[in-house]
């Protein structure tokens, strides 16, 4: 196995983050619209088990916890306190708020007073430095809520779900960039490295980000698109959670190598991974169904389902980062 990381302190200090729902529930209420039933809030024990599994498998140093008013204020504040208690101080908890729903009207999720109360709680009890806006659609008008967030966190407003061709402008100070199409394009790893396929796309994105100064964490991928109807892994023309396949083995490692080699150090925050997407694809009947990714986390079990292979590869990369390259050295000695 080729070494990704040298044994340096810099590797251990890189961001190793996940983004997932604080409620550990599939997003509906406050995400796709206001007419859905609220989910069942996770128990304190379920949050503790989920945190333990993630820490044991991957040693993340930051968790972006998505909230979109799917739970009442009293319940969601309890859930965030549970996450904070379940993780050591070395793991930063960053609330990631959805300000606009994904319905046709792009309706606001929070009223001004609701958002004000949340921001005050987060700053006092969860994280005094950082908060994030979560949005996977580019250049949406976020309304007055964005100004509220920027006022409360003037030096620490982050963007989760930034698209590769989307500028990172003020008031944001850093971001997690979505890399899905750049990682997926290629049936085999040889295809991915061929001219015009995914590696070229990723290199172009890195060159664009190298022209700016704000740090970017790049999304590692577990769920790919449906390769079964393509010749060499081209985009099939749809994104279907019932058909999406695991990312090919070794792809995350190849892509991470490109990022480490080509990103300017001052613009590279590290790596992130979207666990919500794993859940949305895992919960479908052709994949894991009732034994979905979030369900396994809440039960305190390591995920060994349909997308297990790229998930475990991703966790291995995080462990190498956490050890500053030492984990890779030990693996090569076996």
Mean pLDDT of each 10-residue bin along the chain, 334 residues long: 50 90 98 97 98 98 98 98 98 98 97 98 98 97 97 97 95 97 98 98 97 95 98 97 98 97 96 98 98 98 98 97 61 35
* pLDDT score of 11: 65
Which H or E run contains 311? helix 308-322
d(CA 316, CA 328): 9
Q: Are 57 and 302 in contact (CB under 8 A)?
A: yes
* pLDDT score of 330: 36
Is the domain defined by 25-333 classed in CATH 3.30.70?
no
- Phi and psi at 101, nearest 5°, equal -70, 170
The set of residues, in sequence order, having a beta carbon less than 8 Å from that of 199 and lying 6+ positions away, is: 186, 192, 193, 254, 255, 258
Torsion of CA 141, 144, 150, 152, to 10 degrees: -150
Q: Are 283 and 289 in contact (CB under 8 A)?
A: yes
Taking only the tens place, the pLDDT of each residue in 14-42 is 999 999 999 999 999 999 999 999 999 99
Query: Does the N-terminal peptide bond of residue 171 adopt cis geometry, omega within 30 degrees of 0?
Result: yes
* pLDDT score of 334: 35
* pLDDT score of 324: 83
The sign one gets for the Cα dihedral 205, 206, 209, 214 is positive
Question: Pick from 13, 16, 40, 15: which is nearest to 26 by CA?
Answer: 40
* pLDDT score of 7: 41
Residue spans per domain, the chain: 25-333
* pLDDT score of 206: 98
CB-count exposure of residue 111 (10 Å: 0-12, 13-18, 19+):
exposed
* pLDDT score of 12: 65
> Within 13 Å, how many C-alpha atoms sit on residue 40's CB side?
8
* pLDDT score of 327: 41
* pLDDT score of 5: 54
Q: Where are the beta strands (DSSP E) in the chain?
A: 15-21, 62-67, 92-97, 131-134, 157-162, 174-177, 216-220, 268-273
* pLDDT score of 329: 34
216-220 vs 174-177, strand pairing mode: parallel
Q: Are 17 and 61 in contact (CB under 8 A)?
A: yes
* pLDDT score of 10: 65
Taking only the tens place, the pLDDT of each residue in 80-101 is 999 999 999 999 999 999 999 9
Question: Pick from 165, 255, 274, 271: which is nearest to 203 by CA?
Answer: 255
* pLDDT score of 293: 98
* pLDDT score of 69: 98
DSSP states of 53-80 as a string?
Answer: HHHHHH--SEEEEEE-S-S-HHHHHHHH
Instruction: Enumerate helices (H) and strands (E) in the chain, giving the number of each.
Output: 13, 8
d(CA 331, CA 4): 12
Three-class SS state of 326 = helix
- Phi and psi at 274, nearest 5°, equal -90, 105
């Amino acid at each position: 196995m080729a070494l990704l990381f040298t044994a340096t302190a810099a590797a251990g200090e890189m961001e190793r983050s996940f983004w997932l729902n604080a409620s550990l529930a599939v997003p509906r209420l406050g995400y796709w619209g206001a007419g859905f039933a609220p989910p069942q809030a996770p128990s304190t024990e379920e949050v503790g088990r989920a945190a333990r599994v993630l820490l044991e498998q991957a040693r993340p140093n930051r968790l972006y916890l998505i909230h979109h008013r799917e739970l009442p204020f009293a319940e969601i504040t309890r859930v965030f306190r549970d996450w904070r208690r379940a993780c050591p101080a070395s793991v930063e908890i960053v609330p990631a708020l959805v300000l606009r729903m994904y319905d046709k009207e792009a309706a606001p999720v929070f009223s001004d007073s609701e958002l004000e109360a949340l921001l005050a709680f987060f700053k006092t009890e969860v994280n005094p430095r950082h908060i994030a806006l979560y949005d996977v659609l580019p250049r949406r008008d976020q309304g007055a809520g964005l100004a509220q967030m920027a006022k409360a966190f003037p030096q620490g407003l982050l963007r989760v779900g930034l698209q590769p061709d989307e500028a990172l402008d003020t008031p944001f100070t850093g971001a997690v960039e979505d890399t899905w199409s750049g990682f997926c394009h290629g049936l085999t790893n040889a295809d991915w490295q061929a001219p015009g396929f995914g590696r070229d796309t990723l290199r172009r994105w890195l060159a664009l980000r190298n022209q700016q100064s704000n740090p970017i964490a790049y999304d590692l991928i577990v769920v790919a698109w449906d390769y079964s109807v393509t010749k060499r892994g081209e985009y099939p023309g749809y994104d279907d959670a019932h058909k999406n396949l695991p990312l090919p083995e070794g792809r995350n490692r190849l892509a991470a190598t490109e990022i480490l080699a080509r990103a300017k150090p001052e613009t590279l925050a590290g790596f992130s991974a979207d666990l919500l997407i794993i859940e949305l694809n895992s919960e479908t009947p052709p994949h894991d169904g009732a034994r979905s990714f979030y369900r396994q986390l809440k039960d305190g079990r390591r995920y060994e389902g349909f997308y297990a292979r790229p998930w475990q590869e991703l966790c291995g990369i995080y462990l190498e980062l956490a050890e500053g390259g030492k984990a890779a050295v030990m693996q090569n000695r076996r």
